[in-house]
Homo-oligomer: A and B are copies of this chain.
């Protein structure tokens, strides 16, 4: 396992969990979300697990694909 993946930052875990829970509410697969957000599928999985320090532009693409807003995703994550 790469070192970046072995120490996920707690805030990234919370944000990724918020993305995942909203995705499940919307009944969208992770594969479909990755496709809609134009993010590599394995990168999307790492983002949902909090294993990647995701950029603002990718948070925006994910929020749009979930019919949401970055502010709502962060609020859902208590961040």
Contacts and interface: CB of A to CB of B under 8 A. Distances in A.
Contact of A55 (B55, B69, B70, B72): B55
What bracket does the count of chain A residues touching chain B fall in? 10 to 19
Contacts of A74: 69-71, 74
Interface of A: 9, 11-12, 15, 53-57, 59-60, 69-72, 74-75, 79
Given A12-B57, A15-B56, A70-B79, 8 more contacts: A9-B57, A11-B56, A11-B60, A53-B56, A54-B56, A56-B59, A71-B72, A71-B75
A71 B60 contact: no
14 contacts: A9-B57, A11-B57, A11-B60, A12-B56, A12-B57, A15-B56, A53-B55, A53-B57, A54-B56, A55-B56, A70-B79, A71-B74, A71-B75, A71-B79
